[in-house]
Chains A and B, each alone.
Chain A
């Protein structure tokens, strides 16, 4: 087991820099999830840690060792691929024991470890099968088995669950969480499913265009997104944004914009306003409440998504779309209007020019 440290790591393919100056310290035993939109460089980052891609510049340490120039086989990492990459010509047993056999471990010990892993993952019955003869979930477990028997210093997962159906995904997610709790191995996990990220991670790294946007615990990202991108990326349904202008009426700073009634800027933002006048207001759907009088926002409802515990109302305000999470017994109807009031303790303000949340110092929220 070991920590993983990325210091100013970048990756270029030709002229295209796909990972830019990443600083990241992953503690021993920590479960870190990389999220971000497709093509943002998650896999590339992971593959650099695995050693499958060269590092263009910067330094990568696993434990105390600088591993920039070590091949994957010398890094003591195990990786689970999105495609599982099971060896099609080998049985489950041989797939799982492959790494151990290469290391010339004594037969009885290999057998012991393979059977233990198979036991944990419920694969005992399948040890003699070949990958072709198994379901997606079973294959996924074999891929995990292959990683855990090695007892590596670091586990790397690249979207391991994205080929499974929703129900299996929930099951396997729990499995991975349990495994991590049990083994306590440092884990880097790539996904673009934010529920996976939120439920599994000790810390989440949000990336966009090869740049780390914010690193933090799941709730921290939810509550205090560092910028518009993170705010919009984390949370489902995602945050509603409105362009607002700041004006000072009678000494109190007030924001107002298209479709949004004027509201006083809450106390906590005031020290950070500076001379900015163009802001973005962000409010999550769950922080919008239905009111009959003096609403902040009046939206026309286009669609209702009743989920049982709540109803998502999708609507429009002055050509901007909006989502609100309403009580299940709401009387709102499609085509009707609904008055909404923001929970002012939970709103976010961002600098419209840079996208940075008010109160945040830097654009990038890398771990210090």
Chain B
């Protein structure tokens, strides 16, 4: 019986690892499917808007009807696209249903009303941007506006606006059904795990106890390796399917007669004859001028560099499923309905490698968990733990409400936040982004820019150091005064000085903000009364930073004062008298007796104070509000702005995780250093 119990751990661990792989495969697969679907819808929406712009900009009639042809072709050839349309004002300029092309929107229907509102809103954006650019010529014109994506029942919609240098042309909308993407479970892993377990149960009992653990570990490691080898291969198919989908989009463009006009086809020989730099130049030309920039953009609008060349095959030439010899080196070919698309092999491989690494990582993670369970089970730890849990079930019972509360309120949100940091989200589509957020935050070294992470870190550090320094300095000074036996009415002063602490800090912040008001503020009134010149406190960095600093100093010193006062009162007067008799003057008594004996109380307070100040959201947000231009924002307020003002939750989560790591490092470091001061009263 006992032998069987120890044998059971391998099957448990093996099935857990296999299950883990399945979960990863399924979740990543469906996430990829979603991303792919969104990406394709976005691409097509942009392309439709672009085609429409081209048509509108033509003086001659050569392009007339091309948009209508294109939307029809898209709906026909691209798998999953159900409807494509262009709307301007109250009219459909083009519609994949030819009957509705050129018709008015049926404003009675809710669906059409929503479309009308969306188009109006996007037009307003274009107008507003044009206005801004007119006022400020430095603002860059982005010809590739972001695409709006939103899920609708049974699929999703992508909206893209067409504009020509600030002139609104129309709004394209694509409605796509879920990706035509088939997800195969990697059954091999499941069978491997089941087979392994069966074999183990058959012969495991005959292996002596010690080697048995080794064999078990080897079996599980093998399972993990097999799993991480199988998964990425399976995922390459998915990539190929995506590329084929892109080819279908291009086929639609060609069918609308657009490709020939935009992208000159290259003869294989001609392409061969080009020098390397000419090839690059030509690629860039095609890229810059033609459709490719519209097709080759990710969800967030960034150029991906996947498409390098578009080639229209000759009529009836259906043989080119292998890359022709003349294809740019390192490209992959995909074709649909006779049209060929060359993808950059490098970009494709990079994506695959990144994916593989991700899957391997997950695999190894599950492997480690599985191995731990196996080892703990074999060594009897798990049995012992469960026996202990049962034996002390009363205690654990009492603890469990608190533990569950902690789990839900602390652990889950923290883990969720950290995980969120590895994702990127565009509108409602969240995708796994690896370390992209972290790289974006940390690799940007333009430190002069107020929105740069290192600039913010510098401001935050300065903010923290100055604040804590002032809090401790003022707090200690006042505590020394209050502790002086000679001072009359100490109780009254003590109460008054604690008041700033007792008032909710956002009220204090708002009061101070009002006092720093340029026109009506008390501070400027005072300055003027003294014959000075009133100041626009929030127009430049240092005055704005000072308003925060002054407010937070006002709020922060009472805490340090109370801490110091408590610590001072615990220092026996004997010590001062002894030092006095020993020959110490006032300063020496402070330096040699008071200060060292304050340390055990002061150091933890300073650490806590530093952490609080580092994350002091309220004051920055309410007083300077980051003015001017976010320069006085600290990391935590900036993280807030990334999340709730710029809608980049993943980026904000990564930001917060970095803040957390900084503070964690700080605390560990100080704890280690201050281990020395702990000994003062020992």
Query: CB within 8 Å of B: which residues of A?
Result: 50-52, 71-73, 77-79, 81, 83, 85, 87-89, 98-99, 102-103, 130, 132-133, 146, 150
6 contacts between A and B (CB under 8 A): A79-B578, A87-B592, A87-B593, A98-B584, A130-B679, A146-B582
B584 touches A73 (CB 8 A): yes
For the complex of A and B, 8 pairs with smallest distance between CB atoms:
A99-B582, A85-B574, A85-B578, A89-B680, A89-B596, A73-B583, A102-B583, A132-B682
Q: Is the CB of B572 within 8 A of A85?
A: yes
Q: Is the CB of B597 within 8 A of A88?
A: yes
- A interface footprint on B646-679 (CB within 8 Å = 1, 0 otherwise): 0000000000000000000000000000000001
A85 touches B682 (CB 8 A): no
Asked whether B590 is an interface residue with its Cβ less than 8 Å from the other chain, the reply is no
A-B contact count (CB 8 A): 67
Q: A83, B592: Cβ atoms under 8 Å?
A: no
Judge if B411 is at the interface, Cβ distance under 8 Å. Answer: no
Shortest Cβ distance from residue B365 to the other chain A in the assembled complex, whole angstroms: 48
CB distance from A87 to the nearest CB of B (A): 6
How many Å lie between the Cα of A338 and that of B597 in the bound state?
A: 63
Considering the complex, give the chain A residue whose CB is closest to the CB of B593.
A87
CA distance A146 to B574 in the complex (A): 14
Contact A81:B577 (CB < 8 A) given known A89-B680, A102-B588, A130-B682: yes
Measured in the bound complex, the distance between the Cα atoms of B581 and A216 in whole Å is 29
Chain B residues in 8 Å Cβ range of A89: 596-597, 599, 679-681
CA separation between A144 and B15, bound complex, in Å?
75
The answer to whether A88 touches B681 (Cβ under 8 A) is: yes
Is the Cβ of A98 less than 8 Å from the Cβ of B582?
yes
In whole angstroms, how far apart are the Cα atoms of A50 and B577 in the complex? 10
**Cβ of A64 to closest chain B Cβ, rounded Å:** 21
Residues of A within 8 A of B682 (CB): 130, 132-133
Determine whether the beta carbon of A77 is less than 8 Å from that of B581: yes
**Could you say which residues of chain B place their CB within 8 Å of the CB of A133?**
682
CB distance from B186 to the nearest CB of A (A): 64
Say yes or no: A102 contacts B578, CB within 8 Å: no
Return A93 CB to nearest CB of chain B, in Å: 15
Q: Determine how close the nearest CB of chain A comes to the CB of B676; give it in whole angstroms.
A: 11
Compute how far the CA of A98 lies from the CA of B579 in the bound complex, rounded to whole angstroms. 8
CB neighbours of B581 from chain A (8 A):
50-52, 72-73, 77-79
Per-position binary interface string of chain B over residues 553-584, scored 1 when its CB falls under 8 Å from any chain A CB and 0 otherwise: 00000000000000000001011011111111
8 additional contacts (CB under 8 A) given A72-B581, A87-B592: A50-B577, A52-B580, A77-B581, A79-B578, A79-B581, A85-B575, A99-B582, A102-B584
How many Å from the CB of B601 to the closest CB on chain A? Answer: 13
How far apart sit A88 and B679, CA to CA, in the bound complex (Å)? 9
Shortest distance from the beta carbon of B525 to any chain A beta carbon, whole Å: 48
Is the interface on chain B under 10, 10 to 19, 20 to 34, or 35 or more residues? 20 to 34
> A110 CB to closest chain B CB, in angstroms?
13
CA distance A77 to B592 in the complex (A): 20
Tell me if B386 counts as interface (CB < 8 A to partner A). no
Q: Is B585 an interface residue (CB 8 A)?
A: yes
* A85→B585 CA distance, assembly (Å): 17
Residue of B nearest to A94 (CB): B592
User: Which of A72, A79, A87, A102 sits near B575, CB closer than 8 Å?
Assistant: A87
Q: How far apart are B591's CB and chain A's nearest CB, in angstroms?
A: 11
Most buried by B among A79, A83, A85, A150: A85
Q: Which of B578, B584, B597, B681 contacts A132 (CB 8 A)?
A: B681
| A72 partner residues in chain B, CB cutoff 8 A | 577, 580-581
B592 in complex: contacting residue of A88, A98, A132, CB < 8 Å: A98
CB <8 Å contact, A73 and B580: yes
Q: In whole angstroms, how far apart are the Cα atoms of A146 and B681 in the complex? A: 19
B589 nearest CB across to chain A (Å) = 10
Residue of A50, A87, A150 near B579 (CB, 8 A) is A87
- Complex Cα–Cα for A102 and B591 (A): 12
A residues within 8 A CB of B599? 89
Once bound together, how far apart are the Cα atoms of A133 and B682, in whole Å? 7
Most buried by A among B581, B583, B599: B581
**CA gap between A85 and B593 in the complex, in Å:** 11
Q: CA–CA, A71 to B583, complex, Å?
A: 9
Cβ–Cβ < 8 Å partners of B584 in chain A: 73, 98, 102
User: With the chains together, A28 CA to B581 CA distance in Å?
Assistant: 20
Complex interface: chain B residues within 8 A of A79 (CB): 577-578, 581
Q: Is the CB of B580 within 8 A of A71?
A: yes
A130→B580 CA distance, assembly (Å): 21
Most buried by B among A51, A71, A78, A87: A87
B592 neighbours in A (Cβ, 8 Å):
87, 98
Closest-CB distance, B470 to chain A (whole angstroms)? 26
In the bound complex, residues from chain A placing their C-beta under 8 Å from that of B574 are 81, 83, 85
Alpha-carbon distance between A284 and B574 when the two chains are bound, in angstroms:
40
Q: How far is the CA of A81 from the CA of B593 in the complex (A)?
A: 16
Q: Report which of A73, A99, A130, A146 forms a contact with B585, defined as CB distance below 8 A.
A: A73
| Interface pair B577/A103, CB less than 8 Å apart | no
Bound together, the chains give a CA A103 to CA B583 distance in angstroms of 7
A150 touches B582 (CB 8 A): yes
> In the complex, which residues of chain B have a beta carbon less than 8 angstroms from the beta carbon of A81?
574, 577-578
State in angstroms the CA–CA spacing of A356 and B681 once bound together.
Answer: 52
A146–B578 Cα distance when bound, in Å, is 10
When distances are taken between beta carbons in the complex, the residues of chain B under 8 Å from A103 are 583
Q: CA separation between A90 and B580, bound complex, in Å?
A: 16
Chain A residue at minimum C-beta to C-beta distance from B575: A85
Pick the residue among A52, A99, A130 that contacts B583 (CB under 8 A): A99
Which residues of chain B in 593-608 are interfacial with respect to chain A, using CB atoms and an 8 Å cutoff?
593, 596-597, 599
Nearest residue, chain B, Cβ from A79:
B581
**How many Å from the CB of B183 to the closest CB on chain A?**
68
State the CA gap A69–B597 with chains docked (Å): 30
Cα distance A87–B592 when bound, in Å?
Answer: 9
